[in-house]
Amino acid sequence: MNKLNEHTIKQAREGLRRKDFSSVELTKACLEQINKAEPSINAFVTICKKEALVQAKEADKLISSNQDLPLLGIPIAVKDNLSTLGIRTTASSKVLDDYIPPYDATVIKKLKDAGAVLLGKTNMDAWAHGSSTETSDYGTTKNPWNTNHLPGGSSGGSAAAVAADEAIAAIGTETAGSIRQPASWCGVVGLKPTYGRVSRYGVIAMASSLDSPGPITKTVEDSASLLQVLAGKDEYDATTSPLPIGDYTLPIESKLNNLKIGISDEYFIEGIDVEVKREVLDSIKKFEEMGAKIEKIKLFDPRYAIDVYTIIQRSEVSSNLARYDGIRYGSEREKFGDEAKRRIILGTYALSSGYYDQYYNKASKVRSVIIEDFKKAFEKIDVILTPTSPSLPLPIGATNKSIMFGEIADVLVEPSSIAGLPGISIPIGFAKKLPIGMQIIGPQFAEELILQVAGTYEKKTEKEEWRKIKPNL
């Protein structure tokens, strides 16, 4: 029998509905685990113990009057770049050390409306600049599977909190890799929705044309039920799509017969970890056994995406961070860390008169070419499978002197981010006692399809031995 905090959303929901336990008990179990694990993993910037217990009590009242909401009484952790009314929101930067938003991000509002209990705010790379959490001004988060290793990032705190069973589920945000890569390194499920599927309102902007909030969960099924709550057009975010949302929580059925899966050699790049490669190829074989057709496709070398991404992201960052001018948020600009300063300088340069065409404009054009490249690919195949990260979780300190660390760690997720496509990273096993993830990329707004494919795989492999292992904390 699972401990309460080890439950999935589905298990917790069923238990709460059957009144096997209360939301207060469930929330306390998570808070106890936080107490126990935080000294070694540091996944949270702010723990909302008092607020969470108040919300849990309210949830219990609703449950006792037989009310039902999709996430009623379920404790969830959210990344610290999501604005939370009355709860400080730092984006892991000391610049916002004492900033308390007067409003909720749309994602937070939706979670609250669905009855969720907000456990706390998770650690991240400062301003989401990074893939390690090492740029956080509140200390590095450690990988729960081996605390000498990095959890990935920027949503490293959310991924680690879920992996360490500190929360039932978590919310992250991804610009290029920031959900999928930490999910992969922490052995959990991370879904980056199509750009515009989930509202960005209230998410402290990193690169506005790329940012996408999404769920980080223990199972694919949980990912689907969270997306169901989060997705949709928002009257506060002009870039959200008016397309109706799918029914993501459909029961998993084997849709793999005749499913065409594309595999691209370009994504098994030079220098890829041999064990990662082997595990992913193994998983692809399992898909074949389940009836899918594997087809070799040719995609652009993902390394082109690094250049495009770097220019666009740095440019937008330089503009987005201008408001932290030392006048209104109490903290001087010296509080910006080196990484943010580097990005501001590079982005400012790239947008400067005379350089715009050479950099931003050219990057935008290549971005269109990458979008077309994927479009063409999806005329022939349904989904694309690739490793999520070319490496196993790297040791703490790996970002030292590696200014482009993030871009290299995220090379396999950047092209689909730039194209605004949805992708899901799921755990497929371990090597050296560290998790390995694989991603499934779909066409725009094909969240339903990639969740079904991922869910089918999860079901097929649910009995595998490695799934029983828990981090030793």
Partner 1 sequence: MKYTPVIGLEVHVELKTNSKMFCRCSADYFGKKPNTHTCPVCLGLPGALPYPNKKAIEWCLMIGLALNCEISLFSKFDRKNYFYPDLPKGYQISQYDEPFCKNGFIDLSNKKRVGIRRVHMEEDTGKLIHEGNSTLIDFNRSGVPLVEIVTDPDFESAGEVVEYLKKIQQIVRTLGVSNADLERGDMRMEPNISLKNEGQKELPKYRIEVKNINSFKLVDKAIEAEIDRQTQNPGQRFQATMRYDEKTNTTVTMRLKEEAADYRYFPEPDIPPFHWQQAYIEKLKKDAKVMMDKPSEEEERTQELLIKFSPISPVSAATIARDPKFYSSYGGTASIGKDEFGTPYQGTANAIINQKVPLVGISDEERAKIIADLNRVSDVDEDELNKTIDEVLKENKSAVEDYKKGKENAIMFLVGQVMRMFPQKIDVSKVKASLLAKIK
Q: Which residues bind partner 1 (CB under 8 A)?
A: 81-83, 89, 91, 96, 99, 101-103, 105, 200-205, 207-209, 235-239, 315-316, 318-319, 321-323, 325, 327-328, 348, 351-353, 356, 360
Residue with tokens 């079901």: 459
Whose Cβ is closer to partner 1: residue 61's or residue 333's?
333
Residue 247 beta carbon to partner 1: minimum distance, rounded to whole angstroms: 26
Q: How large is the C-alpha radius of gyration of the chain?
A: 21
For the question of residue 178 being annotated catalytic, the response is yes
Angle at which helix 106-113 crosses helix 220-230, to 10 degrees, equals 110
* Active-site residue, from 23, 131, 154, 417: 154
Task: Give the 3-state secondary structure of residue 346.
Answer: helix
Q: Which residue type sits at 215? A: P
Strand order in the sheet with 189-192: 44-47, 117-122, 75-79, 169-174, 212-217, 189-192, 423-431, 434-441, 383-387, 260-264, 293-297
Residue 222 beta carbon to partner 1: minimum distance, rounded to whole angstroms: 25
Residue 202 beta carbon to partner 1: minimum distance, rounded to whole angstroms: 4
Task: Give the 3-state secondary structure of residue 5.
Answer: helix
Whose Cβ is closer to partner 1: residue 208's or residue 461's?
208
Residue 116 beta carbon to partner 1: minimum distance, rounded to whole angstroms: 19
Give the rounded distance of the alpha carbon of 418 from its chain centre.
Answer: 15
Spatial neighbors of 410 by CB under 8 A, at least 6 apart, are 131, 176, 177, 178, 181, 389
Spatial neighbors of 462 by CB under 8 A, at least 6 apart, are none
Residue 236 beta carbon to partner 1: minimum distance, rounded to whole angstroms: 6
Helix and strand counts by DSSP (H, E) for the chain: 14, 11
For the question of residue 425 being annotated catalytic, the response is no
- CB burial of 387-414 (b: ≥16 within 10 Å; e: otherwise) equals bbbbbbbbebebbeeeeebbbebbbbbb
Helices (H), 131-266: 156-163, 180-186, 220-230
Residue 217 beta carbon to partner 1: minimum distance, rounded to whole angstroms: 23
Residue 237 beta carbon to partner 1: minimum distance, rounded to whole angstroms: 5
Q: What are phi and psi of 369, to 5 degrees?
A: -65, -40
Residue 200 beta carbon to partner 1: minimum distance, rounded to whole angstroms: 6
Whose Cβ is closer to partner 1: residue 81's or residue 140's?
81
Task: Give the 3-state secondary structure of residue 221.
Answer: helix
Whose Cβ is closer to partner 1: residue 318's or residue 388's?
318
Q: Are 96 and 85 in contact (CB under 8 A)?
A: no
Task: Give the 3-state secondary structure of residue 219.
Answer: coil
Angle at which helix 274-289 crosses helix 447-460, to 10 degrees, equals 90
* Active-site residue, from 178, 223, 225, 318: 178
Whose Cβ is closer to partner 1: residue 103's or residue 268's?
103
Residue 30 beta carbon to partner 1: minimum distance, rounded to whole angstroms: 26
C-alpha neighbours within 13 Å on the C-beta side of residue 189: 27
Task: Give the 3-state secondary structure of residue 53.
Answer: helix
* Active-site residue, from 10, 79, 109, 192: 79
Whose Cβ is closer to partner 1: residue 338's or residue 357's?
357
For the question of residue 79 being annotated catalytic, the response is yes
Longest dimension (CA), the chain: 66
Q: Are 101 and 89 in contact (CB under 8 A)?
A: yes
Cite the active site residues.
Answer: 79, 154, 178
